[in-house]
Amino acid sequence: MTETARKTREDLKPGEVLCEYCTAKCCHYFALPIDTPESERDFDFIRWYLLHDRASVFTEDDSWYILVHTKCRHLQDNYQCGIYETRPQICRDYTTDNCEYEDDWVYDRYFETPEQVEEYAEATLPRKRGQPFRSPQPPLAPPLPVLA
């Protein structure tokens, strides 16, 4: 195997651990399931999530998740856990059997901005009778003063 080739699960020898070849993707975020949005109010909550730094929302197999891009404070520079012996149970239960080591992070739907959520909600929610498909265009901002 060349120096630049990436080790695959199949390349592992008995006793080798996949984590030794990974950049700890699983320690750089957490994702929690959220209710499937069904109303303007539900989508407004999702907009609120996305107004915060390092948050995105995705769907996978018709389930919705909030994804918070934040590194575990105990992840060391060598991508190993700094509190391995006392790590939380969720970390103990996690295995490399289905981890995202080879994952390209492709989701069914992925939202990074409140505007994306607004557009999606507008396209998928039933419209009220007489309500236009598009929101009214906001007025133009006043011109900036000319500095002499």
pLDDT digits (tens, 9 = 90+) for 100-131: 887 777 889 999 999 999 999 999 998 776 66
Sequence spans of domains, the chain: 22-124
pTM of the model: 0.74
Can you give the pLDDT at residue 1?
A: 39
In whole angstroms, give the CA distance from residue 30 to residue 69. Answer: 7
State the CB neighbour count (10 A cutoff) for residue 40: 11
Residue positions counted in the chain: 148
Q: pLDDT tens across 64-92, in order? A: 999 999 999 999 999 999 999 999 999 99
Q: What is the pLDDT of residues 8-38, one digit of tens each?
A: 888 888 888 888 888 899 999 999 999 999 9
Distance, in Å, from the CA atom of 62 to the CA atom of 46, rounded to the nearest integer, reads: 16
Contact 27, 72 (CB under 8 A): yes
